[in-house]
A and B are shown apart, each in its own frame.
Chain A
């Protein structure tokens, strides 16, 4: 079993829809990252959080440490949001390296 599980694996939405991607982890962590990977391959760091909620533009990330769960929300989705979204955690027992989920492929249709 992976230490980091994401759902769904694939998500197709219509432009303007509200989108939620979920991440669950099974062990203690010191931080969680949400990353975005575009078809060209580059990875962009969206958020790093260890508690509560962060917002940047149309993106919102939340984390519940007790429930070992994080969500990434995209409001008013747009075709340019189409990408793979990856949840990565910094395990308490593994220093500052990241352990990654398998990613969620998001496609937003116009």
Chain B
């Protein structure tokens, strides 16, 4: 158990819908990362937050947004869902941006 929690574990929804994925980092970690793992693209970085502020953005679609709250948990919002958004979404956390990252168990999103 890495200490990073993600909810829900599984999510099945329809095209056009909006979902929110939640991540609680390890106790004391200030940095949160979101990654997407799809069958055709592998693991890709989406976005990073550090102590409530956006730190870096990767291949994140405009339909996706995220935030980190004062208690340091983070949420990833996915809207206008498409079939191709079906993937495993991982959250990782680290004490500070250049420390080792620890991964949560992931949320498996299926868009039908």
Contacts and interface: CB of A to CB of B under 8 A. Distances in A.
Interface of A: 30-31, 33, 35, 41-45, 48, 86, 88, 90, 94-100, 102-103
B56 to A, nearest CB: 5
Contacts of B103: 35, 42-45
Contacts of B48: 95-97
Contacts of B56: 94-97
A45 B42 contact: no
Interface of B: 2, 31, 33, 35, 42-45, 48, 55-56, 58, 88, 90, 94, 97-98, 100-103, 105-106, 108
Contact of A95 (B88, B97, B102): B97
Contact of A45 (B58, B102, B106): B102
Contacts of B88: 41
A105 to B, nearest CB: 13
A30 B108 CA distance: 30
Contact of B55 (A90, A95, A98): A95
Contact of B43 (A42, A48, A100): A100
B45 A99 contact: yes
A60 B88 CA distance: 28
Nearest to B88: A41
A108 to B, nearest CB: 23
Contacts of A30: 98
A45 B2 contact: yes
Contacts of B42: 100, 102-103
Contacts of B55: 95-96
A98 B98 CA distance: 10
Contacts of B31: 96
A45 B100 contact: yes
Nearest to B58: A97
Contacts of A35: 103
